[in-house]
């Protein structure tokens, strides 16, 4: 969980592999945002992450959103 102390604009989130420690690579991610007005979470992205010798980054893009 990442909490920001102010409103920010973002359109995606990135993940990098763990280099020489592949067992630490994330394999599945869910991205949700909390809406203070409604008091609930909204899922904005979900993906399985598959890593390989040339695959070092994954990016999940989603519609414009203000957190």
Give yes or no for residue 66 having a pLDDT over 60: no
Q: How many domains is the chain partitioned into structurally? A: 1
Chain mean pLDDT for the chain: 83
Per-residue confidence (pLDDT) for residue 63, from 0 to 100: 67
pLDDT digits (tens, 9 = 90+) for 32-55: 888 878 888 888 778 899 998 889
| Within-domain flag for 60 | yes
**pLDDT tens digits for 13-32?**
889 999 889 899 999 988 88
Domain membership of residue 57 as a residue range: 10-66
Per the domain annotation, does 5 fall within a domain? no
Q: How far apart are the first and last CA of the chain?
A: 13
In a domain, 26, yes or no: yes
pLDDT of amino acid 48: 93
């Amino acid at each position: 969980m990442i909490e920001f102390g102010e409103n920010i604009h973002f359109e995606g989130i990135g993940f990098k592999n763990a280099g020489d420690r592949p067992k630490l690579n994330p394999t599945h991610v869910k991205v949700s945002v909390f809406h203070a007005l409604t008091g609930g979470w909204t899922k904005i992205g979900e993906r399985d992450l598959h890593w390989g010798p040339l695959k070092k980054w994954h990016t999940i893009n989603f519609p414009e959103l203000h957190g």
